[in-house]
Homo-oligomer: A and B are copies of this chain.
Amino acid sequence: MSEAKKLINELLVEIFNRILAIEEEALRNAGVSLSMTEIHVLEAVGNVPEPSMTQIAAKLGITVGSLTTSVATLANKGFVVRKRPEDDRRKVLVELTPSAVKTLEIHSAFHAKMIDSIFEDLKVEEDEVLLASLRRVATYFRK
């Protein structure tokens, strides 16, 4: 591997290894005491078109059984509410509470700041290069 490739590899690994702990600390500093796992569940609830247990679990790549535990504790903590829809009473639809929405906004702000730091000093044309590179990585992982 060339030097540039080695460096990029090392930087990716370093970023990867630290990001979860850093994001969790950022939340703690903002007065949020949820784990990143729980944040991911809330994000999935907010981003899935029909947030049933099956759909949410699929989005997260975990089993529905695992999700049941997680959603139960989030419900106890007051971040989600569960509803049985009348048209199909097998399903459980999960909704975010105002607390959860506020928490996700804090988390999004962190991400926005992070992305801004990447773009700092980058020219517009260079943005395109970075975007193309990331697309390539994402494509590589999808196959």
Q: Is the CB of B117 within 8 A of A137?
A: yes
Q: Given A14-B138, A129-B129, A130-B133, do A118 and B8 touch, yes or no (CB 8 Å)?
A: yes
A93-125 interface (Cβ within 8 A of B): 111-112, 114-122
The one of B9, B115, B135 in contact with A1, judged by C-beta atoms closer than 8 angstroms, is B115
Q: What chain B residues lie within 8 Å of A117 (beta carbons)?
A: 136-137, 139-140
Instruction: Quickly give the copy total for this chain.
Output: 2
On whether the beta carbons of B4 and A61 are closer than 8 Å, the reply is no
Contact partner, A11, options B120, B128, B135, Cβ 8 Å: B135
Whether A137 pairs with B118 at a CB distance below 8 angstroms is yes
Residue pair B12, A134 in contact (C-beta under 8 Å): yes
A61→B17 contact, CB < 8 A: yes
> Considering only CB atoms and an 8 Å cut-off, how many residues of chain A contact the other chain?
46
Task: For chain A, residues 45 to 104, give those with C-beta under 8 angstroms from any C-beta of chain B.
Answer: 61
B4 A127 Cβ-Cβ under 8 A = yes
Q: CA separation between A5 and B17, bound complex, in Å? A: 22
Shortest CB–CB separation between residue A5 and chain B, in angstroms? 5
A19 near B16 with CB under 8 A, answer yes
Please tell me if the beta carbons of B115 and A122 are within 8 angstroms of each other in the complex: no
Q: State whether A16 touches B16 (Cβ < 8 A).
A: yes
B-side contacts of A12, CB under 8 Å: 134
A122 closest partner in B (C-beta):
B133
Instruction: Show 30 A/B contacts (Cβ-Cβ < 8 Å), sorted by A.
Output: A1-B112, A4-B128, A5-B112, A5-B115, A5-B119, A7-B131, A7-B134, A8-B130, A9-B111, A11-B131, A11-B137, A12-B134, A13-B111, A15-B134, A15-B138, A15-B141, A16-B16, A16-B19, A17-B61, A18-B61, A19-B141, A22-B141, A114-B137, A114-B140, A117-B140, A118-B136, A121-B136, A122-B133, A129-B129, A129-B130
